[in-house]
Amino acid sequence: MAHAYTPGLKVTSRMTYKVIRMLPIKGEVNVKVGDTVEADKIVAATYMPGDVYPLNMANLLAVPPKDVASLMLHKEGEKIEEGEPLAQTAGIFGKFKKIYKSPYSGTVETISDVTGQVILRGPDIPVEVRAYISGKVIDVAPEVGCTVENDAAFIQGIFGIGGETFGNIKIAVDTADQTLTAADLSEDMRGCVVVGGARMTVEAIEAARKFGVAAIVSGGMDDQDLRDFLGYDLGVAITGSEKKGITVVVTEGFGDISMASRTFELFKAFEGHEASVNGATQIRAGVMRPEIIIPLDAGSTDAEPEHSGGFLELGKPLRIIRDPYFGMIGTVKALPSDPHVLGSGSKARVLEVELNTGEAVIVPRANVELIEV
Amino acid sequence: MTIDLENINVILATDCGSTTTKAILIEKVDGTYRQTYRGEAPTTVEKPFANVTIGVTNSVTEVGELASRQLTNEDGTIKQPAKDGDGCDLYISTSSAGGGLQMMVAGVIAEMTAASAKRAALGAGAIVMDVISSNDKRRPHEQIQRIRELRPDMILISGGTDGGTTEKVVQLAELIAPAKPQPRFGSEYEMPIIYAGNKDASDEVQKSLEEDWIDLAVVENLRPKLEQENLGPARDKIHDVFLEHVMAHAPGYNMLMDWTDADIMPTPGAVGDILQTIAKKDGINVVGVDIGGATTDVFSVFDETFNRTVSANLGMSYSISNVCAEATMPNVLRWVHFDMDERQLRNRVKNKMIRPTTIPQSLESLIFEQAVAREALRLAYKQHKEFATTLKGVQQQRTVGDTFSQQSSGNTIVDNMKLNLLVASGGVLSHAPSMNQTAMMLVDAFEPEGCTNLAKDSIFMMPHLGVLSAVHPEAASQVFERDCLIYLGTCIAAKGAGRIGKPCFTWSLTGDVTASGTSNFGDLDLIAMGPEQTGTITCEPAKGFDLGAGNGKKVTHEVRGGTVGLIIDGRGRPLGLPTDRQECQQTISQWVENMKLYEEMEQAVCTA
Amino acid sequence: MKTHTIPMLAIATMLSMVSSAFAFGAAPAPPSNVVAVDAPDDAGEAIILSWALSPNDIFGTLESDTQATDPDLVVSVYYIERRTDSAAGNGSISEEDQGWQQISESAAGEVTTTDRKVQRGWSYSYRVCAVDIQKETSSWAATEEPVRPIMQPFNMSKAWLAIFMLMFGGLIAYFINVARSGKKLWVRPIAGLAAIDEAVGRATEMGRPVLFVTGIQDINEIQTLAGLTVLSRVAKTAAEYGAQIEVPTCRSLVMAAARETVESAYLAAGRPDSYQPDRIHYLTDEQFAFVAGVTGYMVREEPAACIYMGGFYAESLILAETGNHIGAIQVAGTAMPSQLPFFVAACDYTLIGEEFFAASAYLSDDPLQIGSLKGQDYGKFISVLILVIGICFATFASMSGSDENVWGASKNFIKDNMLGSAGLLPTGSGDTDIEGDDS
């Protein structure tokens, strides 16, 4: 291989962003191709089958399972309200009948004559899918969902907590290397996407949550703060389903690390614009990173040219993503092709990096990430 | 499919992992099969390629280039048979791409039929997402909720002995039907459900699972009697269904299935097969471990009984944070012989989790990673021991002599004293800069007792050989012996506890290397013994220590050397470390020095 | 004439015997050294009176053997009289009591009596006389000083009992506290109890019932109660697993108790709907009729698990052998030593004696029960330790052939003081000690 391929996180001021909005099961799509939608528009909706409540009717009525079906007052498929009689025993000479009232509302789904089990299905649960970004519907899959497209500035984070949300961008700090503290947040940030600089403290996140901030984005955070915020030690980086009332996105990594200046500048340029944020992260095969999408007005600027991808070349800017130089920014100075013995004793292919401070260091190719300036 | 084993000279095998596809070439050299070349390429299951064969062709092409042998045709297919120095006679493959085979199993009692079902699924190479049973303390609606959340590729239902409970098994089926789990491959996918329970209940089960989205297969009961486990039919069926349904829905696999001469196997299933083959052939007990980024697989064969466990969240990159959380930081740090800042370490661990591909650059971070690996392996082995047990629910035969020594059934069959061979594979173990580190991680985490050979899988060839062993057992075992395993050496360890510095056992070694000495409790020594050297060691343990013959009894073992040598471990079992941090660091420093763990590196770095 | 000779004869006899220490006349000699003391370690409700035997008492000293006593003068009984000297508080002494009143008699040979009809704080004087078989009384021998019964706050003779009580109670309290603080107390795993889940699981898998027999004793027997505790656990497991439980009983009251136990277990498991009271039924009080009924059931229904917990007699082997024959997992528990070998041989798991009683603590996981189990174990350990030490001392003492050395003294200390009622410290200096304690 001529070049080491190191995928960096995408940060671009303009690209065509497509998002596919799908229902988990078949339902109704409310939009048609060509429609313009806002981020909070419900584009598709359906009903999920409700919760299931099994009732062991044979035991409840003290009858053999095979008799259950004949004693049911509601047959399969019939609706029943809570407290309505569901089944009744034959009694003796028509007297002493035992009546069992339904503990739930729903539909009688099945009646088993082997186990005497009756399954009640609760009312359907509505499922709604919103557009997530404002834009144009370019494709509709009948009964399943649609695709929304728009030109957008796009920023990928490294790690996030919480699901989809949107709000207007609000910069809370002056520089990209400033720590985001509780003092930087205020009441008027309700519903906004608040952007910080370097590390954000747990107090800042709690304050943001108190003020009703939609999402909070910053360069880094401490593991301890994450633990305090979540209330447990996160074991595996699969997130997105947390119900914390706020979406948190870290753009660079853990620790006190400044947000990349390019990312910060991009946020600054779009302050006040509406942005859609998703904190869902899944670091597994089929990696998912948190993202911030800022839909743009059509044709205001030209699309940024596709970056040449992530090939290491001399002079390219990069960031080191592993101790002992974690978080440092520099450029590729040399790309020796022979494996090099590292301080740890392992042999690996390396590159020489000229740090911003002017110092030159040797790091394994696996430990750098290309950035765009 | 009939294959003429006599005329097979060139074998090509690939393993499509979730990130890389590895190809190896096996050729007949002077009448024996040897692994000659290997190559790898990124796996291409996901977009933009979405066709696994591209990665296969790439890796095979690389092997072909190295071997100066054309292995692929113009259109990328495998060239068969071998002719004029090109092509190959046999092509086989395994796959764990796309997260492998994910299954949900259900049984009546968690420790009985459900445990057997789990064993069948794990043995077939699946990842078991959850086990539903009628005594798992969950209410039925909670179980249904759980089934709905999971997205299994396949469901295995067992329960009841033949002629046993019908009601409970049908109840399980009745839970699954309304839950309607969503498969990963979209709503068009027919959910394969295998029923391997009470044969008297199969009609009822079929009736309750009559849905258009279910593809039900009924096989023999995997627990016909509580005293008997019959996993074969269920395992085979899982394998068939894996090919028919799961593989068929993965991009490009239809094509790959046409190329291969034997069925594609899930990678872990193939590893299990080769270990079983070897254990049976040599009459030994084997434990194998594969520690990956996200999961750790442990395989064991004790007295010809095979067990496999997957510890889903114990791994060195994606799951590293979980290892630290589960093992707790102090437990990880006890293996580190210098002070480290805990807050900084926690951030480092999380950074490794979110950027899993990075490698340790400094010695300090290498030592820390190896400490994490020890804990991950220890926890995975513990889970394995808890799972690999004798059958539960079996009637016991007693005599009056048992009055005060009543043993319960369901004890673990994993016995470190009976263990003969411990095989390591997976990045942190096989890519450790020094083999001594690999050996030490194995000894510290698995705590082998008595006499145990340590080996590592050179280039993770076991999956390939597993499939090969089904087609051509002779070739598989020849390559396994000669090329697959790198022997690290032998560990001699005494079971028992004593006071630091008091004699643990005396030993004398004869053969290619002659040496003798006394190992005191707490000592750890390394005797140089090369890969080709063998010898006989006679050990005389002190009272309270056991080296295989019983408490304080003299014992003789055959030992073989390796790249590391002979490890004389007088630290006792179970292995205890001082609780005082300072004292612990001193102890570990001593061991590190005796085992020459990090010496070479420091020198190498100095000269580099 | 005769009337004259008698005094003369008497004088002659008197003279002939003048050197003798014996009775002057036809009356026996009086007892001597009469001492009355307050009874120690009581509430001031008794006075112990002691005296030295009259020389004419044939149960008395050796001298009476060597010097033949006049048969007419042999003491047959002692009369004891009491006079109340002063009262305490508001009490007043009755007219009669102000003089000497006979309160009791003691047979010849006795040297002590206890007067329990005294008032605390009052003072009394006593006198004793010997009476021969001719009903002739000797002169009175009286106490020198009046004695006053007093209440002692502590009964020092039970001092060691108190120490042991405190020690065992303390241990139990300590371990309960430890258990409550969340620390896991190690209790030796009892295979038989761990096997209950397995046995019920087997029954569930095989779709067969679980048979539980609580023995043939009535509800007032501790073994039956212990059996019911285990039944509660078995029923809870059965409820959770969805297995059927069958409990035939030999006593009607046990049936009622078993129904209650099983019902609450089903309730606790959250499956009250699965509880079937009819499956817990009374068969008969007759031992072998009961066994015939149970074994008949076993052969017909082939339960997959049979659990016997309670008091068993000759039926133990019949039940266990039948169970073995039908291939059931069997767990037994009894404190009947003679039945244990049968259960051990025929059952899969057997709880032996103490284990059976410890089962309830073991099963409950309740810190109170686990803690007290642990505390009791330590108590038992201490008891056994003292026993062993005592055996050693006794052995050494008998080997040395004397009780006068340190071994003998230690043995006697353990025997009399720690395990007996001789007070806190050895009796060698005991008198003073006890008196010291009195004050």
**Does C207 contact B167 at a Cβ distance shorter than 8 Å?**
yes
pLDDT, mean of residues A222-230? 91
- The answer to whether A289 and A281 have CB atoms below 8 angstroms apart is yes
Contact by Cβ (8 Å): B208, B178 = no
CATH class label, A317-370 = mainly beta
**Spelled out in words, what is the top-level CATH class assigned to the domain A11-16+152-295?**
alpha beta
Q: How far is A102 from chain C (nearest CA, A)?
A: 14
Three-state secondary-structure class, residue A204? helix
Can you read off the two tokens belonging to residue C412?
């006697």
A255 inside 8 A of chain B by CB = yes
CB contact under 8 A, B395 and C328: yes
pLDDT above 60: residue C22 = no
pLDDT band at C433; cut points 50, 70, 90: very low
Contacts of A315 (CB under 8 A, 6+ apart): A331, A332
Decide which of A125 and B290 is more confident. Answer: B290
Q: Which residue on chain A is closest to C275 by alpha carbon?
A: A59
The pLDDT tens digits of the residues spanning B524-572 come to 999 999 988 999 999 999 999 999 888 999 999 999 999 999 999 999 9
- Residue C410 pLDDT: 87
| CA nearest to B168, candidates A62, C274, C275 | C274
Among B357, B459, B478, B466, smallest CA distance to B22 is for: B459
Q: Does B343 touch chain A (CB under 8 A)?
A: yes
Could you give the ipTM of this predicted complex?
Answer: 0.81
Cα C171 off chain centre by: 22
pLDDT by residue (tens digit) across B369-426?
999 999 999 999 999 998 888 888 888 777 777 777 777 777 889 999 999 999 998 8
- Residue contact B164–C327, C-beta within 8 A: no
Where in chain B are the domains? 5-97, 100-259, 288-391+411-607
Q: pLDDT, tens digit, for every residue of A283-330?
A: 766 678 899 999 887 655 555 555 444 567 888 888 888 888 888 888
pLDDT band of residue B601 (cuts 50, 70, 90) is low
> B180 contacts in A (CB within 8 Å)?
49
A residues 49-68 closer than 8 Å to C (CB): 56, 59-60, 62
Cβ distance of A62 and C274 shorter than 8 Å: no
The contact set of B with C (CB < 8 A) is 108-109, 111-113, 134-135, 137, 139, 159-161, 163-168, 198, 223, 226, 392-396, 398-400, 402-404, 406-410
Question: B2 falls in which pLDDT band (50, 70, 90)?
Answer: low
Q: Place C363 in a pLDDT band, splitting at 50, 70 and 90.
A: confident
Asked if B319 has any chain A CB less than 8 Å from its own CB, the reply is yes
- Residue from C205, C301, C322 to probe the interface with B (highest B Cβ count within 10 Å): C205
> Which of A48, A51, A68, A115 to mutate to probe the B interface, most B CBs <10 Å?
A115
Q: Chain B within 8 Å of A110 (Cβ-Cβ)?
A: yes
Of B3-17, B222-236, C233-247, C361-375, least confident by mean pLDDT is C361-375
Q: Superfamily for B5-97?
A: ATPase, nucleotide binding domain (3.30.420.40)
Question: What pLDDT, on the 0 to 100 scale, is given for residue C17?
Answer: 46
Q: In terms of CA atoms, which chain C residue is nearest residue B225?
A: C206
Of B46, B171, B433, the CB nearest to A115: B171
Tell me how far apart the alpha carbons of residues A369 and B4 are, in angstroms, rounded to a whole number.
Answer: 51
pLDDT value at B22 more than 60: yes
Identify whether the C-beta of residue B38 lies closer than 8 Å to the C-beta of residue B457.
no
Nearest CA in chain A to C278: A62
Contact in structure between B430 and B424 (CB atoms under 8 Å): yes
Distances (CA, A) of B21 to A17, B16, B149, B255, B270: 31, 4, 31, 16, 15
Q: Do C205 and B400 touch (CB under 8 A)?
A: no
Average pLDDT over residues B435-449: 94
Task: Pick from B398, B399, B405, B411 the residue to mutate for testing the C interface (most C CBs within 10 Å).
Answer: B398
Q: Which of A109, A121, A344 minimises the CB distance to B361? A: A344
In chain A, the residue whose alpha carbon lies closest to the alpha carbon of B430 is: A346
List all residues of chain B from 488 to 527 with a beta carbon under 8 Å from chain A: none
Report the alpha-carbon distance of residue A149 to residue A136 in Å, rounded.
Answer: 5
Task: Write the residue in B109, B395, B407 that is nearest to C205 by C-beta.
Answer: B109
The answer to whether C274 contacts A56, with C-beta atoms less than 8 Å apart, is yes
CA distance B399 to chain A (A): 41
B395 min Cα distance to partner chain A (Å): 28
**Structural fold of domain C23-142:** Immunoglobulin-like (2.60.40)
User: Residue B345 above 60 pLDDT?
Assistant: yes
Can you give the pLDDT at residue A305?
A: 53
Query: Do the Cβ atoms of A255 and B351 come within 8 Å?
Result: yes
| d(CA B409, nearest CA chain C) in Å | 8
Share of chain C above pLDDT 70, in %: 89
Residue A145: beta bridge partners? A22, A141
- The CATH number of the domain covering residues in A52-121: 2.40.50
Phi, psi of B9 (to 5 degrees): -115, -30
Chain C residue with minimum CA distance to A100 = C273
- pLDDT at residue number B144: 80
Give the residue numbers in C contacting B (CB under 8 Å), as ranges. 191-192, 194-195, 197-199, 201-202, 204-208, 240-242, 270, 327-329, 340-341, 344-350, 352
Mutate to test the interface with A, among C240, C267, C273, C274 (most CBs of A within 10 A): C273
Lowest mean pLDDT of A88-92, C172-176, C301-305, name the range.
Answer: A88-92
Report the topology of domain B100-259: Rossmann fold (3.40.50)
CB contact under 8 A, A235 and B204: no
To the nearest 10°, report the CA torsion of B197, B202, B208, B213. 80
Test C241 with B395 for CB contact under 8 angstroms.
no
Query: Which of A91, A79, A71, A225 is closest to A161 using CA atoms?
Result: A225
Q: Count the Cβ atoms, other than its own, within 10 Å of residue C6.
A: 10
Domain extent listing, chain C: 23-142, 156-178+369-438, 185-365
Going from N- to C-terminal start, the domains of chain A cover 11-16+152-295, 52-121, 317-370
**Chains contacting A (3 or more CB pairs within 8 Å):** B, C
Taking the Cβ of residue A115 and every Cβ of chain C, the question of whether any pair is shorter than 8 Å is answered with no
Predicted pLDDT of residue A8: 61
Min Cα distance C185 → chain B (Å) is 21
Within 8 A of A57 by CB-CB distance, chain B residues are none
Q: Subunits with at least 3 CB pairs below 8 A relative to chain B? A: A, C
Looking at chain A from residue 90 to 109, which residues have their Cβ under 8 Å from any Cβ of chain B?
109
A317-369 confidence digits (pLDDT tens): 888 888 888 888 888 888 887 888 888 888 888 889 998 888 899 988 888 88
CA distance A224 to chain C (A): 27
Question: What is d(CA B250, CA B99) in angstroms, rounded to the nearest whole number?
Answer: 11
| Nearest chain C Cα distance for residue B225, angstroms | 9
C185-365: CATH class: alpha beta
**Residue-averaged pLDDT of chain B:** 87
Task: Name the nearest CA neighbour of C290 among C342, C252, C326, C335.
Answer: C252
Residue B340 to chain C, least CA–CA distance (Å): 30
- Cα separation, C209 vs C202, whole angstroms: 10
Chains A & C: contacts with CB separation below 8 Å: 6
CA–CA distance, B130 with A370 (Å, rounded to integer): 40
Closest residue, chain B, to A282 (C-alpha): B354
Q: How far is C274 from chain A (nearest CA, A)?
A: 5
Please report residues of B whose CB lies closer than 8 A to that of A24: 182
pLDDT at C428: 54
Q: Which B residues 204-223 touch A at CB under 8 Å?
A: 204, 208
Separation in Å, CA of A19 to nearest CA in chain B: 16
List, for residues B55-114, the tens digit of each pLDDT value.
899 899 889 888 888 888 888 888 888 888 888 999 999 887 666 788 899 999 998 999
Nearest CA among C47, C38, C41 for reference residue C437:
C41
Residue B24 has a pLDDT of 92
Q: Which of B226, B407, B408 sits opposite C205 (nearest CB)?
A: B226
